[in-house]
C-alpha cells in the first residue's frame, strides 16, 4: 500500500500535465482553425520560407 504514496501523486501529476497541455494549446490559438490546420500540415514550403505565412 505504500506504493500508493507516490502512485497517486504521479497519476495526478500526469493528468495535470495533460490538462496543462490542453490549456496551453487553447491559449496559443491551436483550436482557432481546425479545418485550416489539416491543410497546413500538407504544406510543402518550410515554415521559415519568406513566402510562407508568418504566425
Partner 1 sequence: MTEAQTAQLKDPESRAQPAQHVEPSTMTLAVEDMHCGGCLRSVERAALRVPGVATARASLAAKRLMATYDPATTCEADVIAALDRVGFEAAPLEASKQDRGDQRQKYLLRRVAVAGFAAMNIMLISIAVWSGEGGDMDPALAQMFRWLSALIALPTVIYAGEPFFVSAYAALKGRRLNMDVPISLAIILATGMSVYQTMQASEQVYFDAAVTLLFFLLIGRYLDEALRVRARGEAQNLLSLQNGIVTLLSESGSQTKVPASALHPGDRILVAVGERVGADGIVAHGSGEVDQSLITGETMPVAVTGGAAVYAGTLNLTRSLEIEVTAADDATLLAEISRLMMAAEQGKARYRVLADRAAQIYAPAVHGLGLATLIGWLAFGASWETALTYAIAVLIITCPCALALAVPVVQIAAASRLFKRGVMVKVPDGLERIAEVDTVVFDKTGTLTLGAPQLLEGEAVPADTLAAAAAIASASRHPFSRALVAAAEARLGSVEVARDVEETPGQGLLVQTAQDEERLGSAAWCGVTDVSGQTAEVWYRRGDDEPFCFRFADQLRADAGDTVAALKARGLAVALLSGDREAVVTRTAQDAGIDDFVGELKPAGKIAWLEDRANEGHKVLMVGDGLNDAPALAAAHASMSPATAADISQRAADFIFQGRALSPVVEAVNTGSRARAMAFQNFGVALVYNAICVPLAMAGFVTPLIAAIVMSSSSILVTLNAIRLAGGPRS
Based on the shown chain and the rule CB under 8 A, indicate whether residue 1 belongs to the binding site for partner 1. yes
Based on the shown chain and the rule CB under 8 A, indicate whether residue 12 belongs to the binding site for partner 1. yes
Based on the shown chain and the rule CB under 8 A, indicate whether residue 48 belongs to the binding site for partner 1. no
Based on the shown chain and the rule CB under 8 A, indicate whether residue 3 belongs to the binding site for partner 1. no
Among 6, 10, 22, 28, binds partner 1 (CB under 8 A): 22
Among 35, 38, 33, 22, residue whose Cα is nearest residue 55: 33
Task: Report the distance separating Cα 48 and Cα 50, nearest Å.
Answer: 6
Q: Quick one: 6 or 33, whose CB is closer to partner 1?
A: 33
Number of alpha carbons in the 13 Å side-chain half-sphere of residue 46 = 3
Amino acid at each position: 500500500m505504500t506504493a500508493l504514496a507516490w502512485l497517486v501523486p504521479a497519476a495526478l501529476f500526469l493528468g495535470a500535465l495533460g490538462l496543462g497541455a490542453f490549456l496551453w494549446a487553447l491559449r496559443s490559438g491551436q483550436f482557432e482553425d481546425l479545418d485550416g490546420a489539416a491543410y497546413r500540415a500538407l504544406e510543402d514550403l518550410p515554415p521559415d520560407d519568406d513566402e510562407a505565412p508568418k504566425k
